[in-house]
Amino acid sequence: MLSLDQLAAVVWRRKVTFIVTFLLVMVGAAVAISLMTKVYSTSAYLYVSGGKNAGSDYEQVQINQVVSKTFAELLQTRNVANDVAAALPWKESGQGVLNSVSVTPVESTQLITLNAEASSAERAQTLANTYAQVFIDQAGKVLGDTSSATQVRLAERAPLITNQARPRPKLYMLIAAIIGLILATGAALLRHRTDQRLELDDTSTELNGLPLIGRVSAGTAGELPLHAEIDDLSERGRRAQEEYRLLLANLSFVNHGRRPRTLAVVSSGQGEGKSTTTVSIGRAAVEMGVRTLLVDGDLRRPRLSQAVAREAGPSAGLSSFLTSPDPLAISEVAVDLGGLSVIPSGPVPVNPTALLGSDEFIEFVERAGKIYDLVIFDTPPLAVGADASLMCANVEGVLLVIDARSTRRTPLMRAIDQLTRAKANVLGIVVNRATQETTPYYYDANHTGGGDDGRRRRETVSAADES
């Protein structure tokens, strides 16, 4: 059950749903009230005397109350109602009169209340007074006109009350407001439960218990090719590079002050920027002087290998290393692209899952970690099989990439659960396509100077970052 603070937070996040639901309830109530028939009400009072034949005052009171209840019952007979209907100045049935008049003895008195309701104040007054007078006339004929006998008299005529009895707009709208608040809160909670979008804003520091260690601005992700140099990049590309360099630094902070030597980059589904993040981190590491190796671990649908093929042509890869009957050196399957070493996935094997779960793969990870300062594995999505989980279980750290616009909560929670089951060391989450920054790139030519001078300043910054 949610606490009051949590409930308030949910309502605030779903304030549009809350407000729309509340307004719909209030508008609906206002329309319903406007369509209701106006009803006016007024009351006449009859006084019933039971005579003076009792032996004591107490007995007389008891007799009078019994007589009052008796006459109250007689007032509600169909014959009386038919006579009242005949006496009214408009056409009405006896049943209609009974439906419009209520008769109630006043407790501990000799009074009987005749309450009449009608579509106008004048009709209500006429109905109540006519009903009282018709019954008094009938009772007088039956009981006679003696001072000692039981008598029915008019105690008070029905007044003209112009305020409508129903509907009562203020009361009904107050009730509608209370109901609206309840329904709006329920709608906000339902929306919160069914909405699969991620709840991220500029102040978020964690998601599903994992720290957010990097954000890539919308429009910058995917702009760093494998062979890119900083002077060849657009302003958005240079901004992205700085974001990835910050991410690289944060990897050390979340891993007890030491950058992981082997790192797997994963995502819950396809198209969330996993391969782009892999390449961008690798390029940022190389520019900081870190010996880096990228490995395409997606042996089924290798995206990174396609980019390598465009740059350097087809070559052997990870599957070749793992299935070769003769031991291969890592340098035999690695491709050098501007200082960045890349191992493609290689030919598609018969059983990729078995290959990634083999001792040969564990040996490959150990050997690559001894040769390079940083080995980054581009993995298949966690949702498509066990391949990514097997790889994540054999590296020092795992980076989970999400797309702020397309990633949904349920697949993300399943991915995190899968990584937990694999006992992977998840260092944190990278948010791809986050909010577009409008601040100009700090290290562009306008700020650092152009030509060689600007380049020397950027190299100084890079060296400072390394230290």
342: β partners: 294, 335
Phi/psi at 261 (5° precision): -80, -35
Domain 40-156: homologous superfamily in CATH: EIF_2_alpha (3.30.70.1130)
Q: Which of 345, 370, 374 is nearest to 247 (CA)?
A: 374
Length of the chain equals 467
- What pLDDT is stored for residue 226 in this prediction? 61
| Strand residue runs (E) in 157-209 | 206-207
- What pLDDT is stored for residue 428 in this prediction? 92
Residue labelled with tokens 């102040």:
203
Same fold, 40-156 and 206-436: no
190/401 Cα distance (integer angstroms): 28
Q: pLDDT 10s digit of each residue in the chain, 467 long?
A: 678 887 888 888 889 999 999 999 999 999 999 999 899 999 999 988 765 555 555 566 666 677 778 778 888 888 888 999 999 999 999 999 999 999 888 887 888 899 999 999 999 999 999 999 988 888 777 665 544 456 788 899 999 999 988 888 999 999 999 999 999 999 999 988 887 777 777 777 788 788 888 888 755 444 445 655 544 455 666 777 788 889 888 988 888 878 899 999 999 888 888 888 998 899 889 988 999 999 999 988 887 877 776 666 667 889 989 998 888 889 888 888 888 899 999 888 888 999 999 999 999 999 999 999 999 999 999 988 889 999 999 999 999 999 888 888 888 888 999 999 999 999 999 988 876 544 444 444 444 444 444 444 334 333 333 33
Between β-strands 292-296 and 426-434, what pairing exists: parallel, antiparallel or unpaired? unpaired
Angle at alpha carbon of residue 87, lines to 83 and 88, rounded to 5°: 120
- What pLDDT is stored for residue 295 in this prediction? 93
CATH number for the region 206-436 comes to 3.40.50.300
Sign of CA dihedral 438, 443, 444, 445: positive
> Do residues 252 and 259 make contact, with C-beta atoms less than 8 angstroms apart?
yes
263/399 Cα distance (integer angstroms): 7
Q: pTM of the entire structure? A: 0.60
Residue labelled with tokens 């260690």:
213
Domain ranges (residues) in the chain: 4-36+168-194, 40-156, 206-436
